[in-house]
Structure 1
């Protein structure tokens, strides 16, 4: 048996270059082939390992004995500054493990039920028609600004009881937080006032729901109880932030990236038009092929252990590259082929295991209804600018277009 190596290589590229953002998948293929685990210095975040193969990503997502979501489980302390900059996310279910995670997820799930999501179908269809009607007279639209963004923002805002006048503000604040992913200290501190505004907004919103409950998801979170246990105020703030963020960001990029994938594969677009019953499978393939969430939250080694033949020390951070796992040749036949009828399709776009995305049913429903509305309404959709002019958002964790200009015809 070959002895494990003690170090992981450093790749010759990073996750911040325009070339990488335009098309990360050739880079991931090189990692899977030559460097399945790499070491990258993330500036203010320090050094982290990244794994790119499906099987190794699954180990990180499933093996809760060796890898934790909460860095404190792995021996780290959370400084006062880090706690402030995280807006309390360390108190959310995303960053918890074991019994703490199960408690928070169970309480949140009582509010985020399948029946509550299913009841939104008529509202999502109505919003889709209203947003697209505004583009009809012009014969053109920005798929992101005019449809992919306002649709999920309106849906999650309705669910959380966020008044319409507040919606542009909270999206701008949240977008700013995501764009800071991987940013340096100066940019982080420059954006700090907006983070404070978002935190204040959430606290005021929750305080109002505690005084005057309604028929919305936030009121249900306030009321959620399990064996006499309720979410504390700080846990409510953290849970609300996560649900608002996850409740629209993934869908924005799923719709935008999915439309671009269809336009770049006209045979599949034609196939979906001819067989609209394939829309569910098509959404799953968009999730796999475009991977709106590129990198999952890091896991932290709870003990000294080995992964991909590399020795990891307790406390070291390891990031699963979901997008690379979704293109792994060992698990997907012809992974670079966009196939809206792909079966089976066991992608990891929503993660796996205890931290599987709670909002996955909502994202799937919104995307299905959005694509159904687009294809029923428009007989023709074409890019409004050359493909080379499209730009991608700066975030390392998510992948989405800043704009997607289209020419459309009823």
Structure 2
């Protein structure tokens, strides 16, 4: 078992016998190198968060980018259960339909929802949070005991974004533990359909109580802003408001946590790049983009299905088929990136797809970038020596094809 990408610039060129099995999860890049060359558009058995399904997986950057913006691929929540049931290996194992939101809707519904949410979730609001985010980063880093072993995933990577998204939404700090627990169930491949439905129900009930409180006493937070947001007199109805908050709460948490954990590991394993970044803080913004490319927090973008036959390279994917595009594979495509398996914090041309592309490009990307810049800056400035507290081969990546993140990251910093 390996802990991440092969250090060499060209990983071994043989795919595991089971393409998306346990070995793949620990180091997907050798298999992706083979797939991009031999089967860039292929049908596989895929299990992401709920059902194990027969699906098409696309790996080349050019194809992935095109499909992310192709209106022939739908994300509509109402049509998705029928498609999943058709292709599921065990149909009874489905967790049911996805909550209707920007993430699981098509135009014109998506256009309307995103326009209204964007009225409240603005760059200005994100920037106003910078001093608070910087103070939070200082507080968390202050808790690190120099030279002592600690789990960076638990103490920093998972804590930081839940505090940020909770404060952004206006959720009481006392509720953060519940939010983390429910999110853990929703992003787990081990949790069953009943557990996921329960977690969604509890999350929705909690958000409904938060919305009710903000209607009684509005504050300077995103929940209050979304209640008031309108576009040409149009507002989110009750269900749309809750589903939008549910999306922002969960999407903004898991991916940022993975960025932090994977990024710290990458800089430990590439001390020359860590030193370069520490000596030239002006590289920090670009370094966050490179860390996002090097280990995308999402391996496979969220589920899509074809509404008509779609030509991808030399392959025609029929209508009513599930399609997953691999962001990890696209971000290491040698046709786009020079030395794709090398970490280069000064990389000039970085067309990574970790935040997606097209109408579903991540609305929270500015916040994730800010969190990454602030936290990596604090860690680099405070501690000159980073080291793993366990052998690298003992590290385990989470059992998830959807997300690319470490289960834990024992380290020492001094």
Aligned to 2:157: 148
Residue 171 (str. 1) matches residue 177 (str. 2): no
Shift of 1:46: 3.1
Other structure's SS at 1:346 match: coil
Gapped regions of structure 1 (runs ≥ 5):
1-9
Gapped regions of structure 2 (runs ≥ 5):
1-14, 86-90
Aligned to 1:123: 132
User: Which of 264, 278, 281 does residue 269 from structure 2 map onto?
Assistant: 264
Shift of 1:143: 1.1
Change (3 A) 1:198 1:74: closer
Shift of 1:41: 2.9
CA contact (8 A) 1:272 1:279 kept: yes
User: Which of 55, 60, 63 does residue 56 from structure 1 map onto?
Assistant: 63
Shift of 1:317: 1.3
- TM-score w.r.t. structure 1 length? 0.90
Shift of 1:298: 2.3
Aligned to 1:47: 54
Give the whole-Å Cα distance in 2 for the aligned partners of 1:74 and 1:132.
43
CA-atom RMSD, angstroms?
2.3
CA contact (8 A) 1:16 1:394 kept: no
CA contact (8 A) 1:74 1:314 kept: no
Shift of 1:234: 1.0
Other structure's SS at 1:230 match: coil
- Cα deviation, 1:310-331, whole Å, max 9, x if unaligned, reads 2222211111101100000100
Alignment of 1:201-212 (within 5 A): 201-212=206-217
CA contact (8 A) 2:258 2:405 kept: yes
User: Which of 346, 352, 362 does residue 357 from structure 1 map onto?
Assistant: 362
- TM-score w.r.t. structure 2 length? 0.89
Other structure's SS at 1:347 match: coil
User: Which of 117, 120, 130 does residue 111 from structure 1 map onto?
Assistant: 120
Give the whole-Å Cα distance in 1 for the aligned partners of 2:128 and 2:21.
40
Give the whole-Å Cα distance in 1 for the aligned partners of 2:84 and 2:42.
25
The structure with more helix, counted as a fraction of residues = 1
Alignment of 1:1-400 (within 5 A): 12-17=17-22, 19-42=23-46, 44-64=51-71, 66-70=72-76, 72=78, 76=82, 85=95, 89=99, 91-136=100-145, 139-180=148-189, 187-400=192-405
- Cα deviation, 1:175-197, whole Å, max 9, x if unaligned, reads 110113xx5xx822244433322
